[in-house]
């Protein structure tokens, strides 16, 4: 590389050391932004022409050159070179080789505001893809909930059986989580929808640039108000990574539920073979590797968020080269989250529910101990007194090695004179969930209404 041909060649007499060129290049990963970079350059050239800084023919030559370069990149024949550091310089070098007008394209522009613009354009598109993938998982969960609407299973706290719930109610809990994830991404997209281009390196430009026209061409809803903030702001990256980290946490929790449910110990479901693997040693194994990877990749999403927070915390205004390090974590999280969502959307329809095993587990009378407390409270006993009384009954049943439902009328009569006559009715798990009265509970009519609500909402998005 001749120093006179580098973007800063007028100042330097020596070429960068090859070690520095290899150490500092980003084209090996930031080339992913080529469509957005070219889109931004075409808009910039159009604005320069309208501002009288570029002739009509020059603008046409630049646009034709950039479109030809994009076609070469699309076809995989563009000659990327680490000698030219990043994708911006690779594209600009190729453009100048095609037309002398290419040397004017960088008028009023710095790579600082150029890369920030490309990154925001890319992120807006990526968020749209993420939200569509989230919706696909939600739809699969709603389908599953409707398909198995009458299946009961134990709900758990502390991974101990707690109370009976509908499987559909459990699944819709994840639909709620994913809805919040989608909302966070939508809100983050709004904050990413700000044009930095025209901020220059940090202080704006003396040239008559029409930033609002560029924003219109690139479909940004607003322009950045402070040029120093515009070129150094990566809050939109942090917000995106934070949203994906929490999304990953939710997907990991769902994966863990399915992993547990598919074990011999639980036996509630079987996973589709197409999303499981075997063992190289043990021929009987059917391992939930896809779900374990979803669970594992959640840690990666959290780690990428942390790396960018640490990257940013010590940077003075404005642009610093450290910011180059934002892209690999960003791209990795985007790919990882989208991959997890697509795996789950493919896996969920193939899950087989073992209804009898679920029903058997949900029929454990201990799961209705709270219903017994509620019955006593409804019949006038103070809740805390009722709680202790039922606790003593549980201890009595355990000492006799019988289920709670098998205690005699003599055992339960001291709690309330009407209890023996109604004792047997209390222990039906289906009757128990029908007794649920609070909005948002596992009562079947409420769950059916929620399925319909989600159907309408997902259709409207």
Do residues 389 and 381 make contact, with C-beta atoms less than 8 angstroms apart?
yes
Catalytic site residue 158? yes
Closest to 144 (Cα-Cα) out of 165, 174, 164: 174
146-172: string of b/e by CB count within 10 Å (b at 16+)?
Answer: bebeebbbbbeeeeebebbbbbbbbbb
* Pairwise CA distance, residues 83 & 79, whole Å: 11
Could you tell me which residues come within 8 angstroms of residue 178 by beta carbon, excluding any fewer than 6 positions away?
Answer: 134, 137, 138, 141, 247, 250
Q: Phi and psi (nearest 5°) for 198? A: 105, -10
Q: Which of 158, 225, 378, 445 is catalytic?
A: 158
Q: Which of 279, 388, 408, 421 is catalytic?
A: 279
Do residues 172 and 454 make contact, with C-beta atoms less than 8 angstroms apart?
yes
* Pairwise CA distance, residues 239 & 234, whole Å: 9
* Pairwise CA distance, residues 288 & 224, whole Å: 47
* Pairwise CA distance, residues 278 & 439, whole Å: 44
Burial of 247 (0-12, 13-18, 19+ CB in 10 A): buried
Residues annotated as part of the active site: 158, 279
């Amino acid at each position: 590389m001749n120093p006179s041909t580098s973007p800063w060649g007028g100042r330097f007499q020596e070429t960068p050391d090859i070690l520095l060129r290899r150490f500092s290049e980003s084209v090996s990963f930031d080339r992913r932004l080529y469509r957005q970079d070219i889109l931004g350059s075409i808009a910039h050239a159009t604005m320069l022409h309208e501002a009288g800084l570029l002739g009509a023919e020059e603008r046409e030559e630049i646009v034709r050159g950039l479109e030809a370069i994009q076609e070469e990149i699309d076809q995989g024949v563009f000659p990327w070179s680490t000698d030219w550091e990043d994708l911006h310089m690779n594209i600009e070098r190729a453009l100048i080789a095609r037309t002398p007008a290419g040397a004017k394209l960088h008028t009023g522009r710095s790579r600082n505001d150029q890369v920030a613009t490309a990154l925001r354009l890319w992120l807006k598109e990526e968020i749209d893809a993420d939200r569509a993938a989230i919706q696909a998982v939600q739809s699969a969960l709603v389908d599953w909930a409707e398909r198995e609407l009458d299946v009961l299973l134990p709900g758990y706290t502390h991974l101990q059986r707690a109370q009976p719930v509908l499987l559909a109610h459990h699944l819709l809990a994840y639909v709620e989580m994913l809805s919040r994830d989608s909302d966070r991404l939508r809100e983050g997209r709004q904050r990413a929808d700000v044009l930095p281009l025209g901020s220059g390196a940090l202080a704006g430009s003396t040239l008559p640039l029409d930033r609002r026209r560029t924003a219109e061409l690139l479909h940004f809803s607003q322009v950045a108000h402070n040029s120093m903030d515009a070129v150094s702001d990566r809050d939109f990256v942090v917000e995106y990574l934070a949203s994906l980290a929490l999304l990953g946490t939710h997907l990991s929790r769902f994966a863990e539920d399915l992993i547990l449910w598919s074990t011999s110990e639980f036996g509630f479901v079987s996973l589709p073979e197409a999303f499981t693997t075997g063992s190289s040693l043990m021929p009987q194994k059917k391992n939930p590797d896809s779900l374990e990877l979803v669970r594992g990749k959640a840690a990666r999403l959290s780690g990428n968020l942390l790396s960018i927070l640490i990257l940013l915390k010590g940077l003075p205004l404005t642009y610093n080269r450290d910011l180059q390090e934002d892209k690999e974590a960003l791209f990795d999280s985007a790919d990882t989250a989208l991959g997890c969502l697509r795996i789950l959307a493919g896996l969920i329809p193939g899950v087989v529910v073992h209804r009898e095993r679920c029903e058997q587990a949900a029929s454990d009378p201990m799961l209705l101990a709270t219903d017994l407390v509620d019955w006593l409270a409804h019949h006038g006993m103070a809740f805390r007194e009722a709680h202790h009384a039922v606790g003593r009954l549980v201890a009595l049943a355990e000492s006799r090695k019988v289920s709670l439902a098998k205690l005699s009328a003599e055992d339960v009569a001291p709690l309330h004179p009407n209890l023996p006559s109604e004792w047997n009715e209390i222990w039906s798990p289906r009757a128990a969930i029908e007794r649920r009265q609070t909005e948002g509970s596992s009562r079947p009519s409420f769950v059916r209404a929620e399925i319909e609500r989600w159907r309408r909402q997902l259709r409207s998005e």
